[in-house]
Amino acid sequence: MTYTVEKCCRSCGAINVEDILFLGDTPLADRLLETEEQGQSEIYAPLTLAFCKSCSLVQIRETVPPEVLFGGAYPYFSSVSPSLLKHFRQSAESIARQCALGPDSLVIEAASNDGYMLRRFMELGVPVLGVDPARDPVRSAMKAGVPTRHDFFTRAFAKKLLAEGVGPADVFLANNVLAHVADLNGFVAGIRSVLKDDGLAVIEAPYVADLIDGCEFDTIYHQHLCYFSVSALDTLFRNNGLYLNDVERTSVHGGSLRLFVGCQEAPSVSVEQLLADEDTRGITRPDYYKDFAVRVLALKGKLNELLADLKKRNMRIAGYGAAAKACTLLNYFGIDRDTLDFVADRNTFKQGRYMGGNHLPIVSADKLLAEMPDYVLILAWNFAEEIMEDLTEYQQKGGQFIIPIPEPGIYLGHPK
């Protein structure tokens, strides 16, 4: 048994959780295959999106053990994306100014990956500590000189740090990890215990309103256990002695929240406005999510119809971006080697491997210029502008792009 099914809410423990969308039995995202593994059985697990009527948390019911998801050859490296590097570099600089950080300060980051953000704090002379369970990103971070513990951040790990004399921290960072945590309350309680009383936790997470409004169903996969609204986050933090005091919306990953959390309550106008807006829009009630499954099915029909028409005209199509979201989209839409020739990716760690389920080969982006498929389906659509800019030469030679979300369309250049 590679997964368990949660019957209660991951945040508040309530039992009145209602299903929203079932995406079928899905191979594990980011579980890329080596050549010799193609003939072996793969791990599949159901993928069911649900809504808690008590605290409004959107979540999946299935939990795959984190050791299975992150303990092996985890292929995601944040430093691969220039736009992400720019985003978090600017965030680090802003936090350092806001908190007046210096050589006597400490920044701790959970899920620090390859040290992409902590490096900037180090350049500013601020001591740091990264914590991450994925072996290969940790090795990359250590090689770059970023102090990193190879472990999961938990309540127990936070206590261990304090017992070792590490901390408390002036700043605690958690970027795109809160959604990955099975023990939500334990993780947040760990933040509280390792954070100074006047410290600041800065957390980024995809915003469920953007997911639903943009029909971003492919961001649902087994690593993403939760999909947060401001209302659900406010409840989660309060239940663990923390307070959401400020919030910013960003365009990262199709729409995210940057949360500023402290140990004393002092909510900004932005927090109060977003809470009121969510109540007005019905984000805290199940009706808001009712037509989501219908829209996803319509999107499936439109994209498959577009791709089928191109194949009938003997057009060659390749994918770009062997991202986790690509696993969900390709599997649920039934897109395989009959439709795509291969999937290109700039991450050298992924090249030479194969996508789970459909076994599409993952190759270097150079192969797009060498073989010039007629179309490139941008699976990592949240980086579409960056990808299309990188593929300017492909475009100049006549190549065209397909962006699947929020509405399938063909582009000769950058989407407007």
Q: How far apart are CA 111 and CA 162, in angstroms?
A: 18
* Average pLDDT value for residue range 327-334: 95
Domain identity same for 56 and 87: no
Average of per-residue pLDDT across 289-310: 94
Among 198-207, 284-293, 306-315, whose mean pLDDT is lowest?
284-293
User: Within this chain, do residues 36 and 158 fall inside the same structural domain, yes or no?
Assistant: no
Q: 37: domain range?
A: 4-62
**CATH number for the domain that contains residue 362:** 3.40.50.720
Q: What is 365-414 written as a DSSP string? A: THHHHHH--SEEEESSGGGHHHHHHHTHHHHHTT-EEEE-SSS-EEESSS
Asked if 43 contacts 28 with a C-beta cutoff of 8 angstroms, the reply is yes
Q: Confirm whether 68 is domain-assigned.
A: no
From the list 155, 175, 170, 168, the residue with the least C-alpha distance to 259 is 175
Please check whether residues 52 and 183 belong to one and the same domain: no
Residues 259, 300 share a domain: no
In a domain, 374, yes or no: yes
Domain check: are 262 and 149 in the same one?
yes
Tell me, yes or no, whether 328 and 212 share the same domain. no
Residue that terminates a domain, selected from 16, 36, 62 = 62
Percent of the chain residues topping a pLDDT of 70: 95
Predicted TM-score (pTM) of this structure: 0.87
Determine, yes or no, domain membership for 272.
Answer: no
Q: How far is residue 220's CA from residue 225's CA, in Å, rounded to a whole number? A: 8
Residues 232-246: pLDDT tens digits?
Answer: 999 999 999 999 999
- Between these two residues, 79 and 172, which has the higher pLDDT value? 172
141, 252: one domain: yes
**Are 135 and 232 members of one domain?**
yes
Cβ contacts of 183 within 8 Å, gap of 6 or more: 154, 155
Q: Are 332 and 313 in contact (CB under 8 A)?
A: no
Are 169 and 247 contained in the same domain? yes
Say whether pLDDT at 291 is over 50: yes
Domain boundary among 249, 266, 283: 266
Judge whether 237 lies within some domain. Answer: yes
Give the tens place of pLDDT for each residue, 1-55. Answer: 589 999 999 999 999 999 999 999 999 887 888 888 877 888 899 999 999 999 9
Clarify whether residues 125 and 179 are in a common domain: yes
Q: Give 414's pLDDT tier (boundaries 50, 70, 90).
A: low
* Closest residue by Cα to residue 276 from 231, 343, 209, 222: 231
Per-residue model confidence (pLDDT) at position 68: 80
Q: Which pLDDT score is estimated for 416?
A: 46
Instruction: With respect to residue 67, please indicate whether it lies within any of the assigned structural domains.
Output: no
Average pLDDT over residues 340-365: 93
Which of residues 30, 62, 94 is at a domain's end? 62
Q: What is the pLDDT of residues 178-196, one digit of tens each?
A: 999 989 999 999 999 999 9
* Number of structural domains in the chain: 3
Backbone angles phi, psi at 26, to 5 degrees: -125, 140
Q: Kindly state the percentage of the chain with pLDDT values over 90.
A: 79
- Please indicate, yes or no, whether residues 51 and 85 belong to a single structural domain of this protein: no
**Which stretch of 65-69, 110-114, 389-393 has the lowest confidence by average pLDDT?**
65-69
pLDDT at 71 over 70: no
165 lies in some domain: yes
Lowest mean pLDDT among 135-139, 146-150, 276-280, 295-299: 135-139
Residue 277 lies in a domain: no
Same domain, 86 and 176: yes
Q: How confident is the model at residue 72 (pLDDT cuts 50, 70, 90)?
A: low
CATH code: domain of residue 92 = 3.40.50.150
> 407 lies in a domain?
yes
